Structure 1
């Protein structure tokens, strides 16, 4: 009965979020409250279990980076980048889209996709306003590009950190096994983006002429502050890249960076706190508890156990099931708690493999499915939720289905090609 209740609550909440009949934050909070009230998630687990409750690592990583972005914003650097990007592209919609996607995809493997979105999305909103064009297509494309690009490294996508820790995989392992297919898929995504967004492109010559006449350097309001902020940001990025070596969680690095940024900038508290996407953080908290209800009642474990029984000793079938299954399930459940829940199950399957190479191939199939499944819906990955929050704050809201109709197409394309890659590289 408890499993059915958890499924019912989650399904109703997901439908309400998808149809946007009720604000997503209200839905997530109420659904989380019902999970706790009915005992589907024990009260103490809501706050103290990262597998069945709120994952504070994710929450504080987001909070720290939001504060960092809020302080950097005061320097005028985002305005500088917006004018630079508009001038570099000549205001041509597709060229601008490709430029912004490349910046996002190149930065995501090193900054992690959520951090990259927090830095690039404000620039995108500004450049679109300068050119008098809607920001939604560009923001959606960036979120999709960040999830693809972030899959290339251990720190690029949060699920990879979980998988790397559980499987004992290093930063270099991810680069060798994940980066090649990510490069291919991103190149194909650039072409797919033209097909998906071409009808929404707008070009206003008079606005472009105004932007081309602007001096982007005049946008920098405080060069000394910018230099200090960039120095702190460089330390934060280095911390992310070395977190597996220094054994400090990305959330702690982000919080330390935020504290240091505030100290060196000496900005008034109200200035950077008003830049924090509080509604996004609250939505994540509710979403984690919603998924926790499915974890605690054994729903997700039951699905994993059933899948394990179906594959037997056919390890290519196991890889196929992990890849496609993770892409489908990861599109409906935030891929961070999903991966945290499924990782022990994958570890059990890997333990039955005849050699380490075969076992490792299952981890790569799992990672590819979870990462690319993050593009499936508007709530499937942290970067997607952050983009929706930034868009709403900017007065250009993106609906659940507006994002999802592009995300599904992208997920199908990337997952099918990733499956071919797994077959060719590990089983042919």
Structure 2
């Protein structure tokens, strides 16, 4: 690699250490790393802000702003309180069944929606539930964001890496349902069992608080019925826009921001007050992270790593499959899986083309590793970063290592579950 590439690696590692150790705030570390990348010439203004391959993904930023505006209005209607009371009643106030219910809802929703959208919608419900039941919020929030990453792997539209692979490979929606949905269902069951063990110290019931919630009526949580009706219509239209994207040819970011602005106007709420609910710190963190990872792409670091992983097994299909699965999980734990999959896709396409249809297993190994590897660290997936921002704003901060010590266990076990599945299914 060139000197500039090595300098880019040094900058990224330094920023990552600062984020992991929390010696400085993660936003300052990410933006400082982005500035350093520009100073060493690993990126420039045009590349950082306008390059579709290695610049800031403005689609993600705009989509987040739109959904955060919608959530900000919904929060004032009382909908989240309604859903929280309903969830607690269905689980009879017992912490683990409440966790199971919220995790399953999150995973199923993430199969059809963007993971970040699902997290933004479920987080306020979770915070209300934990407040009312006297439970720590961190285990619930961590479990839900991991469930969103697991559930998103099930379908073609559930996670951006899946969409990238579909466009490169020619695999269709039914192919994803046939191959990915069964293993995701198995992994979700394993994950629920893991949650019972990992978070056992936080799942102690408080009978008095549970009884108080069970005595509440769901309807009493709704404060603004008219605004709720308008909000649900707009939200339904936005979700329909996401699902009908192939027909409408409207980017989800455009759909989300239009929905957010229309709802803000129709709500007649003070825009300044609603804007305060937007996680601006989280958005700035994403900008810094996008610039740093883009610099690694531009300097050839990601490409070198990808080619080395692909060539290491010298054409042995099972060995290549396993290396691709575990290497994808490891790399997606420390960099965003979107640029990684985008960079790796042409290499996998060449391997599949040269090996024939039987080598399609490599696409599934790439996706399972990249999708599940995002659970390993607090910055491994976009949804993780958003959830950390929500928790911090609610004055229930989750540290990098608090998330990662659970994430590493979950990632190793869930990726390991994929090994016999891939072998039995394709070998």
TM-score, normalised to structure 2, is: 0.96
| Structure 2 match to 1:402 | 402
- Per-residue deviation, 1:44: 0.9
Unaligned ranges ≥5, structure 1: none
List per-residue Cα deviations over 1:283-309 (Å, max 9, x = no partner). 011001111121111111111122222
| Structure 1 match to 2:183 | 181
- Per-residue deviation, 1:92: 1.2
| Structure 2 match to 1:211 | 213
Instruction: After superposing the two structures, state which structure 1 stretch, 188-197 or 334-343, moved more.
Output: 334-343
Whether the 8 Å CA contact 1:336–1:381 is kept in 2: the answer is no
List per-residue Cα deviations over 1:109-161 (Å, max 9, x = no partner). 11221111100011101111111211000000001111111110122122212
**Alignment partners' CA distance in 2, 1:251 and 1:380:** 21
1:33-48 pair list within 5 angstroms: 33-48=35-50
**Alignment partners' CA distance in 2, 1:343 and 1:256:** 32
Q: CA RMSD in A?
A: 1.4
**Alignment partners' CA distance in 2, 1:227 and 1:376:** 39
| Structure 1 match to 2:374 | 374
**Alignment partners' CA distance in 1, 2:300 and 2:272:** 44
**Alignment partners' CA distance in 1, 2:248 and 2:171:** 16
List per-residue Cα deviations over 1:140-199 (Å, max 9, x = no partner). 000111111111012212221222222233322211211010011101111111010001
**Alignment partners' CA distance in 2, 1:173 and 1:252:** 28
1:227-306 pair list within 5 angstroms: 227-306=229-308
Where 1:12 maps in the other structure, the secondary structure is helix
Q: Paired residues, what number?
A: 425
Where 2:278 maps in the other structure, the secondary structure is coil
| Structure 2 match to 1:319 | 321
List per-residue Cα deviations over 1:24-49 (Å, max 9, x = no partner). 00000000001011111132100011
Instruction: After superposing the two structures, state which structure 1 stretch, 212-221 or 13-22, moved more.
Output: 212-221
List per-residue Cα deviations over 1:349-373 (Å, max 9, x = no partner). 22322x23x2432111111110000
- Per-residue deviation, 1:409: 0.8
**Alignment partners' CA distance in 2, 1:218 and 1:190:** 31
- Per-residue deviation, 1:18: 0.5
**Alignment partners' CA distance in 1, 2:107 and 2:277:** 24
Whether the 8 Å CA contact 2:115–2:383 is kept in 1: the answer is yes
| Structure 2 match to 1:417 | 417
**Alignment partners' CA distance in 2, 1:361 and 1:294:** 27
**Alignment partners' CA distance in 1, 2:254 and 2:337:** 21
Alignment CA distance shift 1:239-1:360 (3 Å): farther
**Alignment partners' CA distance in 2, 1:317 and 1:411:** 20
| Structure 2 match to 1:194 | 196
Instruction: After superposing the two structures, state which structure 1 stretch, 199-208 or 100-109, moved more.
Output: 199-208
Alignment CA distance shift 1:64-1:165 (3 Å): farther
**Alignment partners' CA distance in 1, 2:176 and 2:226:** 37
- Per-residue deviation, 1:405: 0.8
Counterpart of 1:24 (choices 17, 23, 26) is: 26
**Alignment partners' CA distance in 2, 1:156 and 1:7:** 31
Unaligned ranges ≥5, structure 2: none
- Per-residue deviation, 1:324: 0.8
**Alignment partners' CA distance in 1, 2:266 and 2:314:** 58
Whether the 8 Å CA contact 2:169–2:349 is kept in 1: the answer is yes
Counterpart of 1:68 (choices 67, 70, 73) is: 70
**Alignment partners' CA distance in 2, 1:216 and 1:380:** 36
**Alignment partners' CA distance in 2, 1:247 and 1:314:** 40
**Alignment partners' CA distance in 1, 2:360 and 2:201:** 42
**Alignment partners' CA distance in 1, 2:170 and 2:270:** 43
Where 2:312 maps in the other structure, the secondary structure is helix
Whether the 8 Å CA contact 1:335–1:381 is kept in 2: the answer is yes
Whether the 8 Å CA contact 2:310–2:324 is kept in 1: the answer is no
- Per-residue deviation, 1:94: 0.8
**Alignment partners' CA distance in 2, 1:263 and 1:43:** 34
| Structure 2 match to 1:78 | 80
1:80-229 pair list within 5 angstroms: 80-229=82-231
Alignment pair present for 1:348 and 2:354: no
